[in-house]
Amino acid sequence: MCGICAIFHADAVETEDSIQKMVAVLRHRGPDATGIRTFLKGGLGHTRLRIIDLQSGDQPMEDPTGRYWITFNGEIYNYRRIRAELALLGHTFRTQSDTEVILASYAQWGRSCLDRFRGMFAFVIWDSRDHTVFAARDLFGEKPLYFGAERQNTLLVASEIKALIASGRIETHLDYTSVDAYLAFGYVPPDRTIYANIHTLPPGHWLFWDGEKTTIACYWRPSLNTKQRTLNAAAEEMDELLRQAVKRQMIADVPIGAFLSGGLDSSTVVALMSSWAGGSVKTFSVGFGDSIDELPYARSVSRKYATEHFEMDLGEPDVGRMLERMAQVYDEPFADTSNIPTYLISQFAREHVKVVLSGDGADELLGGYGWYIPLVRSETAKSSLVKWILYRSLSRLLRPQRDELHLNSMALGLSARWPDMWTRNIMCHMQMRPVTRRRLWKDRWDGVASYYPGDYFQPAREVLGMNRAFAYDLSSYLPGDILVKVDRASMAHGLETRTPFLDRDFVEFALSLPASLKATSDQTKVLLRHVYERLWPETVQKRGKQGFGSPIDRWLTRPDVQELAREITGNGTRLKTLLPGVTTFPEKDAYTAWIILVLGLWLEKNQVKV
């Protein structure tokens, strides 16, 4: 796990000073070593977190011929098998690293090498003979990759936006449609950035630059091609593939551990790690005192599997200070409140290990979110707006039956207003509807292209029912929110996070499952529960979905947060200039208030021109 950067020109231009600056701001991603290699027409930079081949895997790295050079961020978990195959084809190796295997794979198979990799990755390869660049990113974008140009016939690439800006070669311009997208969802969608002139290489895509033009193409995308399976047949295949994924991702030459929330996903990962580990697995958990306390659930899993358990109770963290810190860690406004506990537990875990496994990806692949239940019910709900309003009113009045009525009310509302399941799921995610955003933009609204997810997120026509809902979460929420949150929070401390549920072999199996084995009208994660319930302590079996959230309502009333809000909402502030309709704080809705607060702090901390 590392930080990477590169600059290339069609003609000879000095780049070393700019790359030095880019490497400096990426040092948190790779505190163990740095490297720079410059060429007549550009250069590569690298900051390394040593995980595999501690002695000889430093970068940038060249292949034996000297033609290809690489800077690479991530891990290829099946690199030893690929290396053995390449050795039979005549390739020789000087290191024990997965980096060298990527170079040899590209030399042997070209772009098709991407289909052989099982791992998380973002890399840039320079062809010093043809003066071309090939870059690629993993399936869901676990590892980030951004690019831009200071002028025609140039290319700058980096792991984080702050490195592109630090080069001194790109003057940023705010993208107002991306701001509107952030207001709608609380994160910038994964096919765009907050800046008009800085771009992200989307997950599952490669980039090729020939000195004049940049070509981008998709080599993989989530394809929900359902196959009929019996419950028992699916259970057997799932167990085999997930065990294989966990085993693969435990490869390291440094200490390794796991995040343990005591939820179904992390508990499953820890249970499977324990079956492969030579000793006790190190586990890490976090709590918020009396407000959100996951620690008892995590302890029960730890006891069952005799893990070496570390926990921290945050109580009430210094929220104001953490909000300001998040505005620097995240290069774009990012309103997922769980980034604060993720940042703090990563800092805590890094004192003991360099690598942790997590349960991320299971909710999107296996039907784990609470909003899937009303979405399933909406498939058969016969509704009218009048009936929906009646149910919604009853759910507020009849407290003992409120949960069930609330679910039915949601299902009826979704059914009455939006016929397409893809649209219904988008509306479940949307934090600010257009009418609210229009109020914030005020007289600037006419100059803003209102955001709505476009073709990039659309599933194929043959994808039907709940699979249309899953498709949106896999293409937007997972890469745009969940994986961004974890990468930036963990890499701020030089901690590598791995996600066994996103192993390609397991992913393609999960995508083929019937929707009924994921979520039904009254249960989430149907197949996961069937396969692994026996591995969970009884307290975890009975536990409902909680998530890694934060007590946001209380946080917003803190004096330090209120003071920050006053500072960023006054006349003449960047937030007020950008969104003239921002008036009082907090807004009635807590998450709306949080989104606005995070945006205002980000604008000020990053000195963004509006």
Residues assigned a catalytic role: 2
On whether the CB atoms of residues 440 and 583 are closer than 8 A, the answer is no
DSSP 8-state assignment for residue 160: S
Encoded tokens for 354: 């360099």
Number of helical H runs and strand E runs in the chain: 25, 17
On whether the CB atoms of residues 108 and 169 are closer than 8 A, the answer is no
| Exposure b/e, 313-345, CB count within 10 A at least 16 = b | ebeebebbebbbbbbebbbbbbbbbbbbbbbbb
Sheet of 256-259: strands edge to edge? 308-313, 282-287, 256-259, 355-357, 496-498
Element at 554 (helix H, strand E): helix 552-556
Three-class secondary structure assignment of 374-423: HHHHHHHCCCCHHHHHHHHHHHHHCHHHHHHHHHHHHHHHHHHHCCCHHH
**Closest to 568 measured CA to CA, from 547, 551, 548, 582:** 582
- Residues linked to residue 68 through DSSP beta bridges, in sequence order: 127
DSSP letter string, 62-84: E-TTSSEEEEEEEEETTHHHHHH
Q: Which amino acid is at 226?
A: T
Helix ranges (H only) for 16-75 are 16-25
DSSP letter string, 270-284: HHHHHHH-SSPPEEE
Prior bond of 144 cis (ω within 30°): no
- Residues linked to residue 199 through DSSP beta bridges, in sequence order: 147
Hey, is 104 helix, strand or coil? helix
Q: Phi and psi dihedrals of 433, rounded to 5?
A: -75, 165
Q: How far apart are CA 201 and CA 127, in angstroms?
A: 19
Task: Give 386's Cβ-side CA count (13 Å radius).
Answer: 0
Task: Give 553's Cβ-side CA count (13 Å radius).
Answer: 4
**Closest to 523 measured CA to CA, from 403, 368, 406, 307:** 368
Q: What are the DSSP E strand ranges found in 481-588?
A: 496-498
